[in-house]
Chains A and B, each alone.
Chain A
Amino acid sequence: MLEHVYLIPLLPLAAAVTLVFLGKEGPHSKMPFLSVATMGWCLLQSSAILWSAMTGAAHLPYAASMPWFEFGEYPMSLGVLIDGPAAMMLFVVTLVSFLMQVYSIAYMHGDPRFKRYFAYVSFFTASMLGLVVSSNLLVVFSCWELMGVSSYLLIGFWFEKPGPAYASKKAFITTKVGDLGFYLGMLIIFAYAGTFDLTMLRERVAMGAAYLPAHAATAAGLCLLFGAVGKSAQWPLFIWLPDAMEGPTPVSALIHAATMVAAGIYLVARTYFIYQASPLAMDAVAWIGLVTAFMAASMALVSYDIKRVLAFSTVSQLGYMMLALGVGGYSAGLFHLTTHAFFKALLFLGAGSVIHSVHSNDMREMGGLSKKMIVTFATMTIATLAIAGFPFSSGYYSKEAVLGAVYAHSPAMWAAALFTAAMTTFYMFRLIFMTFLGEARDHEKEHHAHESPALMTIPLCVLAVLSVCSGWILEHFGLVEHLFGLPSAVVHGAEHAAKAVEAAGAAAEHGAAAANHAAGHPASHPAFLVPAALSAFAAGLGISWKLYASGDFTTATKIKQTFGPVFTLLEKRYYFDDFFLFLVDLSDRLAAACFWVDANIVDRIFVDGWGLVTILLAEIENFIDAVFVDGLVDASGWVSRQAGAGLRTLVTGQVQEYLLYVALAVSVFIIQMLTMR
């Protein structure tokens, strides 16, 4: 199975191309089933790979490549590199994509561009899978860009509406800014290490300063981080993700919750050896993650759009993963990435189910839907418990792992992360309470509300099961260690890893394979971590219950009035959008000013002035030409004309005159001959 892993990205690509060019477009097109079937096959293959990776049947990392082209003296290879995280990501991406496509058959049915939607989704999935498996950083970058394109296409899927059109542009341009960082990072890496192949790169980086000196590692790490910041919607480039919710909801579930935004995290994890070589870059990852997690969670507190809340929550959770990676909790970050993909996809698909039913995004117009939509309510509640870290749900394990890793690095950061976790619990339950509990606030909408068809609820149930048990399975069977453990050879080089090893010392007696990885194992941390997390959960749930569960929001409104400026700040998203617009405006004005200088000074003086000088020179030259040169030409003409006029009087046509001239000439010759003698 593993040797045919290249099929996993290529088959959806083929499906996408087929869907684009073949078959009939229409609201009831049968072509999407091809896409779903392809993804089903990919899911089977990925599951087989993951299973063999879990059981240890397959020896990871598995790498295979073929020559691609020669870049001067540097050979480029096209290949796959499957390690534990890649195997897990393959499974997650294909699973979420498959479920989301099944869900979309019902959700998008009747859309005039039904076929095209699936073509885009297949194309996106192919790009993402290509990114996951590729062993060459150049291919990773290509897939990264292709994902940007497909994300653009899918956010702007309803491009005839102004909102999605604007949002797709915003998302594309913002991520593009980040892509610049990725590209620069790649160039730095190539300039120093001379290869794009991840395996070779890892070896060369491990050799230390001979290939990648510390400052270069820092620069490369920061640049790659900037790329990840753009793609994973981290601070300060998080502004595009909330707007990306203009796309179809299943797309949000696939791209902007479970997979594409995870690509940034995955990239950092994939190039983790570079960060290990640079403590500064590592700290930057951690701080960006923390800031993002906190800010996004706080913005989610006040949003009324059900999808926006989830979008902010996604940003916040991605920040968590970044934070985990940054503090050395490599496996904790990837663990959270996996579990988050399940419950966040579930939340989005559930939100899609709600929106499908009530035709509104605004939570203020919902309420009391639990009676009408029991499956959606149940599954979304499970996902909410998971994201909030309810004991023994998947989020509980992964969040504990993250928090443990953070605590090992810095208790202050841990406190901030814990506060963020409390906020997460609060806003997630606020969402559940406002949507499903209380009395219906908009009776007409409530009246039309109904449970979604089975095609939509079955994926919800599958994801709900995974949201509950994936954490336990991964944790209980030691798969977090097995799949997400760092290769030990690299660990020794870096300071952070050394710290991790130190922390692991305490855990050594537990007998776990914690030698190269301590962060993320709850048992290795102080005992108060778990109770602290649980009390944060309880606090968030309690406040949320008090304010929103009854359907009576008077207390909430009162608080909002008391802290008006704070709410405005949060609702305006810390004015980051305005800040970026201001930057754009500023550059616009700067460009206008430069244009003015160019048009009025540079053009006037240099261009127009030079033209004037040229005209003057030309006038002078013209004068000389007309008077002197042409005079000479005319004079020569005049002379020959006059000479001709004089000579023509000799040519009379009278033969006898000619004869006379001959006679005269002969006479002259004779006289001369005679006199010369």
Chain B
Amino acid sequence: MTLYHYLAVSAALFCIGIFGALTRRNVIGILMGIELMFNAANINLAAFNRFLHPNAVVGQSVSLFIITVAAAEVVVGLALVLAIYRNIQTIYAEDYNLLKG
């Protein structure tokens, strides 16, 4: 188990996450994809901490912060989704086109 294995898993997870975020019609799904990308980053941080500076806990602490922030972010995100849904009765992202030029 080298650093590269972790990095590979992390990259895969990130790709899955970005794929989900880019392709899902459902806003909840997009949020879930974003969560996956966060976690990919967390894996990276923990792995770098473990293999490059084993005595420090900096990477792990940052991971913990990210998890906390991600939870808060999801709350805000879901609140937005709910607010938008109340206005236009849809959760499909392609219908959210108020910014269309």
Q: Which A residues form the contact surface with B (CB < 8 A)?
A: 647-648, 650-656, 659-660, 663
Contacts and interface: CB of A to CB of B under 8 A. Distances in A.
A653 B96 CA distance: 7
15 contacts: A651-B100, A652-B97, A652-B101, A653-B99, A653-B101, A654-B94, A654-B96, A654-B97, A655-B30, A655-B93, A656-B22, A656-B30, A656-B94, A663-B18, A663-B22
Contacts of B98: 653
A664 to B, nearest CB: 10
Contacts of A650: 101
Nearest to A667: B18
A660 B96 CA distance: 16
Contacts of A655: 30, 93, 96
Contact of B101 (A651, A656, A659, A663): A651
B13 interface: no
A653 B18 contact: no
B23 interface: yes
B46 interface: no
A667 to B, nearest CB: 10
A651 B93 CA distance: 15
Contact of A659 (B21, B94, B99): B21
B99 A651 contact: yes
Nearest to B25: A656
A645 to B, nearest CB: 10
Given A660-B22, A663-B22, A654 B101 contact: no
Contact of B93 (A647, A656, A660, A663): A656
Contact of A653 (B21, B22, B100): B100
Nearest to A647: B101
A344 B83 CA distance: 120
Contacts of A659: 21-22
A652 B95 CA distance: 11
A652 B100 contact: yes
A120 B93 CA distance: 105
A652 B93 CA distance: 12
Interface in B68-101: 93-94, 96-101
Contacts of A647: 101
A655 B21 CA distance: 10
A189 to B, nearest CB: 91
Contacts of B100: 651-653
Interface in B1-45: 18, 21-23, 30
A642 to B, nearest CB: 15
B17 to A, nearest CB: 11
Given A653-B98, A654-B94, A663-B22, 15 more contacts: A648-B101, A650-B101, A651-B99, A651-B100, A652-B97, A653-B96, A653-B100, A653-B101, A655-B93, A655-B96, A656-B21, A656-B30, A659-B21, A659-B22, A660-B22
A660 B21 CA distance: 9
Contacts of A653: 96-101
Sorted nearest first, the 9 A-B pairs with minimum C-beta distance are A653-B100, A651-B101, A653-B97, A648-B101, A653-B99, A656-B22, A660-B22, A656-B93, A655-B93
A535 B96 CA distance: 137
A663 B20 CA distance: 13
A329 B98 CA distance: 117
A648 B100 CA distance: 8
A654 B96 CA distance: 7
Contacts of A648: 101
A110 B62 CA distance: 125
A651 B99 CA distance: 8
B18 A654 contact: no
A623 to B, nearest CB: 39
A659 B33 CA distance: 12
A651 B101 CA distance: 5
Contacts of B22: 656, 659-660, 663
A651 to B, nearest CB: 3
A660 B24 CA distance: 12
Q: Most B CB atoms within 10 A — which of A647, A651, A656?
A: A656
Contacts of B93: 654-656
A648 B97 CA distance: 13
Contacts of A660: 22
Nearest to B21: A659
B4 to A, nearest CB: 16
A96 to B, nearest CB: 105
A648 B21 CA distance: 23
A656 B29 CA distance: 12
A431 B3 CA distance: 153
Nearest to A666: B18
A585 B23 CA distance: 106
Nearest to A655: B93
B12 to A, nearest CB: 16
Nearest to B24: A656
A248 to B, nearest CB: 98
Contacts of A652: 97, 100-101
A659 B99 CA distance: 14
A362 B36 CA distance: 136
A654 B93 CA distance: 7
Contacts of B99: 651, 653
A673 B22 CA distance: 24
Contacts of B23: 656
B18 to A, nearest CB: 6
Contacts of B30: 655-656
A617 to B, nearest CB: 47
A652 B23 CA distance: 15
A652 B101 CA distance: 6
A270 B17 CA distance: 124
Nearest to B94: A654
Contacts of B101: 647-648, 650-653
Nearest to A663: B18
